[in-house]
Chains A and B, each alone.
Chain A
Amino acid sequence: MRRPIGLLVIALLMASGGPALAAGVVASEGPEAVALTIYPDPGGERAGPDLEYDDSTGLALVTEWRTLDVPAGESVLTFRGVAEGIVPETAALDGLPARMVERNQDYDLLSPGSLIAGSVGARVKRVRTNRQTGAETVEDAIIRSGPNGVVLEVDGRFEALGCGGQAERLVFERAPPGLSDKPTLSMRVRTQTAGRYRVRLSYLAVGLLWSANYVAEVRPDGRMDLLGWVTLSNLSDTTFADAPTQFVAGELESTGETTATEVQAQTVQTRCWPSDTTTRGQWIFQREAVISPSPMIDGDVSEIVVTAYRRSENLQDVPTAISTVQSELGDYKLYTLPGLTTVAARQTKQVRMLSREGVSFDRVYRFGVYDGETWTPDTVEPATLVLKTKNSKAKGLGLPLPGGNVALMQTDPSGRRILAAESSFGNTPVDGPLEIGVGDAPGLRVRPRQVRTWVRGERTLTEYELAVTSTRDDAVTLEVIHRGDPETPLKVVAETRRHARAPLGLTWSLPVASGENLTLRYTIETRD
């Protein structure tokens, strides 16, 4: 559903500007084609239907193609139908052989408030309706003040608008110049030769973001099927129809200054005189203001968003079989959706990013001790389980994995598919280590104890004891990891098994047979 394209050259309507500014306006109503490159949210938000549009969430590069009939000389090109979240200072125009004098975004919006503000001193009609007879009385009036409390001059006398309780309204002859329905992007250019040009308008916009989600299915044979999804959210009210769509995976630096213009339409306030009475509460106050105070635009938007999201959840695209194609973009990864995609306003969409079957991985059972830690007597804590592999072809992976959340699914002996854990991992390059934390390991428990601590000269010695109990029906290896501040060297002076040094800390690898109970004791020496 492409937008109709209207191209017209109209005289500059704005009364503002001297002769230097007199230029023809070339209005482009909307893009003929649009392409999207969507980034992860710079603030770390994850895509989903529970996000609301604001001026800084999300980031996308929008590229539009438009055809313009540009006369020779100076003209003002106005671009309507741009994305709601446009960051105006990032707009760039290619394909027009012209000198760019300046580019502007105007966001003085037409609203009841700006209508009154721009009509102060102007002649309007005040129409009063008799509620009983229905008769209308039309009078000439001059707006003397507004929009924060409107005062009218009628027949040389002064009256407030909307303070008397009668049915009255204002009728304007024209809207004040220079007000628009939406923020408007325009460029003032000078061209040598008139002609029809196909131009490319590109800009950054907020309101679009994506994140990666994975479903990891642990199979009965001990391998894992990994399915990656792109979750894409369009928080804005702009629909991008039939757009080639790409996603960038990586960590971009951001300044927090790439934000959409925060637009606040001017509101009307009824600053009426005090209205207390001796009869308060005896009648229902019926002030029939012709223009009631309009709510802040924010309030309006959030209301729309809430209802629209409710709708979008139903519309949420069912994951389909199409898959993305991955390529390189500088130091990031670029994913391209095949074909064209319509990204509708306030929509969350999911597309398959990658899938790998039969990934081999190691189950690593861990128990962590922090140097100096003590426990309540008879504390029993479960060991934790981490699924560990390498992002390599040999392990069944070997492709860039954008970081995201993982739902770890498992089939229990009765054939039921259950959610075992929810976890996450960061951007993982090819051949990088990949770890998915599962949480508490079933059937493997540790009773830790700080046995004693004593001082020998400038050295402090501490003895630890860890009693391991397995109720599992398989043999596993438990890693006991003792870590401390890297600036404070730790020295093992006694141990019942040999330790190793790993990035995580001092490590004891304990093979634990099914149903076995065993105990590890070690003594650590530190010097102050």
Chain B
Amino acid sequence: MRKWLLAASILTAMAGTASAQDVTAPAPARRLAVTIYNSNLALVEDARVLNLTAGRQRLEFKDVSPQIRSETVALSAPGIGIVEQNFDYDLLTPDILMAKAVGTQIRIVRTNPGNGQQITETATVLAANQGVVLQIGDRIEVLRDDGLPTRVIFDRVPPNLRARPTLSVTVDATGAGSRETRLSYLTTGLGWRADYVALFDEKSAKMDMTGWITLTNTSGTSFEAADVNLVAGGVSQLSRPRPTTAGGGVRSAGTQTGQGALADYYIYPLPERTTIAQNQTKQVSFLDVQQTPASKVYQVDLGSFMSQEQPISANVLLKFTAGAGVSSSPQMPAGVVRVYVRDADGDPKFIGENSIPHTPAGSDLAIQTGQAFDVTLQPTVVSSERISDDRTRYLVTYVLRNARPEPVSVVVRQDGFGRRAKILKESLPGTSVNSTIRGWDVPIPANGETTLTVSFENGY
């Protein structure tokens, strides 16, 4: 042990010109701030008070994230200059230990298989390629050529071999004394998204919604008692993050254009410090609204004119307005909305889920939860007839069935109308949804069916 320390200090003395000294950063008075982005990226700011000596010295940070993006490391403190920073990931393993021992002496201890006696010899490692070739006195042998148990004892470990990847920064300090240093870096392995729970009551057309921020940490390290900020927005905007600036740097990044850039960023600070442990999924509530208006819609979208032998189930959509009834941060960060309804006993039951993008407040959302068992549509192209070179006359029927004990209304949207389409007759008034889609609201009586008949000429 002592020998190793001696060797280590000699090495550092050779590396540094002034009286270099190793300072291992201790833990006390540490303040961690973690800013987590949507897509597996986080900015870690690690502030702590270090007692520095004047002149050149090396600071080691052993507790940084193993998934650190080392090119983003920045260390700042009053009165220091950065000489160099290194991220060493030459790990201490038996094979590397042997490779580094080439040319040096080791000891081998062989066990006699007959009587169990142990013989210790000193050997010089000549090579460690495929097998280990040793010089023992004036003999050359291969390690464990006879397959018998042989211990290998190394006198020292090279100083740059470590148990885990280590960040080291060599600094030049103007004076001795303790001062606050701030280390910041980007790391992968941390991410977050939103999870929403919507409890929908069809009778009252109201919904309760809770929102959770879900953090995941698979970075390889824990972040203890950290201030956590979450940024809603894509990483594409963050082509050149400036890790040395705190929180506000994110907003400035928001002004940079990128694919799908959003007009504004939203930052969600967690209300209190928390420990994000390694291999942990953490959830913190950020949204809780009661009795906000919501409604259920049946809808069928038809991409082209077609005849269907089997009825098509209507899609069930839940419609609501993002941020209704919320005063603070009413926008909805991207995530999964899971919808529940109460069963006959009053217990909430899951009825489907869908993803939403980052949604500004006031946006109207219609998320599909599933398909109706009892509400179907069966389209039939009854006739189609060429009436001129570029015009076709169609008669299309849509049979809509409702096996529910109450009347329902279905939004039918038919795509495929051309530029020169002309409606001749329709059994229910339709409206143009856009240039190619026509829509009808079709009421169906309880346990009944409605046939929508449309005749039209189509031309492109």
Contacts and interface: CB of A to CB of B under 8 A. Distances in A.
A107 B279 contact: yes
A276 B131 contact: yes
Interface string B261-277: 00000000000111101
Q: What is the predominant secondary structure among interface residues of chain A facing chain B?
A: loop
Contact of B311 (A204, A328, A432): A432
A159 B281 contact: no
Given A158-B157, A274-B95, A253 B403 contact: no
B453 to A, nearest CB: 14
Interface residues of B, number: 114
B145 A400 contact: no
A273 B352 contact: no
Contacts of A202: 348
A166 B149 contact: yes
A128 B307 CA distance: 79
Nearest to B278: A108
A102 B283 contact: yes
Contacts of B307: 486, 503-505
Interface stretch (A14-22, A26-34, A208-216): A14-22
A271 B282 contact: no
A145 B197 contact: no
Contacts of A333: 373
Contacts of B305: 486-487
Contact of B202 (A89, A131, A250, A330): A330
Contacts of A429: 373-376, 401, 403
Given A156-B1, A165-B150, A149 B338 contact: no
Contacts of B3: 156
Interface size class of A (residues with CB under 8 A): 35 or more
Given A166-B151, A279-B146, A329-B349, A486 B1 contact: no
Contacts of B107: 157
B308 interface: yes
A251 interface: yes
B373 A153 contact: no
Interface string A469-494: 00000000000000000111111000
Contacts of A327: 343-344
A61 B349 contact: yes
A121 B132 CA distance: 28
A334 B343 CA distance: 9
Interface stretch (B51-59, B378-386, B425-433): B378-386
A113 B253 CA distance: 41
B246 to A, nearest CB: 21
A277 B147 CA distance: 9
B209 to A, nearest CB: 13
B378 A503 contact: yes
Given A251-B313, A329-B351, A505-B307, A272 B373 contact: no
A148 B353 contact: no
Contacts of B371: 250-251, 331
A132 B316 CA distance: 75
Contacts of A255: 336, 353-355
A144 B92 contact: yes
Q: Which among B107, B130, B162, B281 has the greatest number of chain A C-beta atoms within 10 A?
A: B281
Interface in B1-27: 1-3
A363 to B, nearest CB: 17
A419 interface: no
B204 interface: no
A379 interface: no
A378 interface: no
Contact of A148 (B93, B113, B310, B343): B93
Interface in B109-143: 109, 111-116, 128-132, 142-143
Interface stretch (A282-290, A297-305, A347-355, A441-449): A282-290
B156 interface: yes
A514 interface: no
A277 B145 contact: yes
Contacts of B308: 503
A148 to B, nearest CB: 6
A426 B310 CA distance: 9
Contact of A17 (B132, B224, B375): B224
Contacts of B452: none
B365 interface: no
A438 interface: no
A105 interface: yes
Interface in A235-294: 248-255, 257-258, 261, 263, 270-279, 282-286, 288
A96 interface: no
B202 A501 contact: no
Interface in A312-344: 327-334
B295 interface: no
A249 B163 contact: no
Interface string B332-368: 0000101001011001111111110000000000001
B68 to A, nearest CB: 18
A163 B94 contact: yes
Contacts of A261: 281
Q: Which among A159, A253, A487 has the greatest number of chain B C-beta atoms within 10 A?
A: A253
5 contacts: A18-B273, A37-B350, A144-B157, A151-B157, A274-B130
Given A284-B147, A433-B310, A503-B380, 12 more contacts: A104-B280, A105-B281, A108-B280, A131-B149, A132-B115, A149-B92, A254-B352, A258-B353, A271-B95, A279-B146, A327-B344, A487-B384
Interface of B: 1-3, 91-99, 107, 109, 111-116, 128-132, 142-157, 161-164, 195, 197, 202, 212, 214, 222, 224-225, 272-275, 277-285, 304-311, 313, 316, 336, 338, 341, 343-344, 347-355, 368-376, 378-386, 389, 392, 401, 403, 447, 449
